[in-house]
Structure 1
């Protein structure tokens, strides 16, 4: 991989290819907190990465900097967000993180998009001692690796598949249900299935703007900043990971081992619910079922976190 030779310092645009950096020029005095990551802006991973992840990284950095910078144990320090287009290429992902954590020694890293990329980078981050809160990784194997610096934000497959099974036993299954799994919670699904084809379709999802007061504020900020809606699953978990990271840095500073211990040892209140980890796995939020109803992807199961009642009769296509 040819390394980028120039960083673009911007406020408010994610369009730059190569390396992207966000650092407001007028936040003086305190040294910036350098936070690096790779993200797909080109190639086949782009839709997922640019729906669920990078827009949230940018929005979070801008909000933190607008407040004076990231709270590092009571001291506000501006964020320099360093993002590299990995071109949906695994070798580029690995070499980018090797460089960020090895030769550049950034203060913190944020995860790439997707299970495969996280599977490749998680052991590397663990070896360098960088806390890794991954919002778009689904793999039981990642739990079994027992990497102490690696945390999976999403409910894993057993929990997510168990939720619809429990729901269907509860209401007596009939074949008028359609469960489409990963990707159903994307706004694009609703748009592709127009005008009414998405109505009643169920899938993996865990939140929407009515899930919490914080979720409503996040949803509105995302739409205002990016002129598009976040998805109703991993976008929320990406934001929740950034909430946890912010809280950790505010409490313990930039000592990465202390951040890891804070993440591992506490229950974290986030926009998607209370998250806590057993090893790498998020065991705080339950497996959920979402369903498109009148243009919104509602959480319909379990009832304790539901934002709407289940519609047991999907309209005919």
Structure 2
């Protein structure tokens, strides 16, 4: 259900983006402004990126199969990478064209009408960008979030473009137009580079420290005394879906059934945090005597030492491949 809604949102973005692209090229046609052409050219990228986003969201919504046991979520990272590359390329092309524009003679057209159209398109992009970014963060979808960030970067550049076009309206010199186009071509290229960077991070399974911090805080808040520690904690993103590997230290005298119940309860806490079913593989470790110093079980029948310190779980101690340790002062 969630995947279908994401797909419908991206389809709407594609349709609206196509309409805005045609409107922006109309603005360039009547104004003959390279600065407006920069904005219009990026609209082509917006449409292509939205189409890629639709396909990526369709792929990521497909269920796991024998050839893709972890699902198809990585398609979102590939889509974002292509989108970022297109944005970067569009920015560079516009910079090159604008530099060439200093050597050619041309007259500017109806800048005022072009300005009105650019403002209208900017407002539409602002609304769509905010919706996409909010939805992408809510469902952990890089395809939606990158599309939202892309549209919002358009808005930021549009604000500057509008200011520049107002200047151009009162001082209609082509060198001002070309300078504006170079400036916003650079902004567009930089935003594309950031999208590519985030895409590569997802493909390479780079650690999302913020996500792990939020998840560990949630686990720490709902931890049971029996959960002596969690370590070797790793989170992998498959598009909007998460896969988690972890070690959980439990009392060594628990039988298999009790250990299984504790693992299921950890799973439930994680699922409540994510708002959906998370694939989590937990390796159970038996406690050792040194763990008595930070074990919170008050009724432990085999305790060898008194509790000396409660160790709060945090990013630093859960990612290490070792049990927690009491630090003597």
TM-score normalised per structure 2 = 0.29
Which structure has the greater CA radius of gyration?
2
Higher relative helix content: 2
Higher relative strand content: 1
TM-score normalised per structure 1 = 0.30
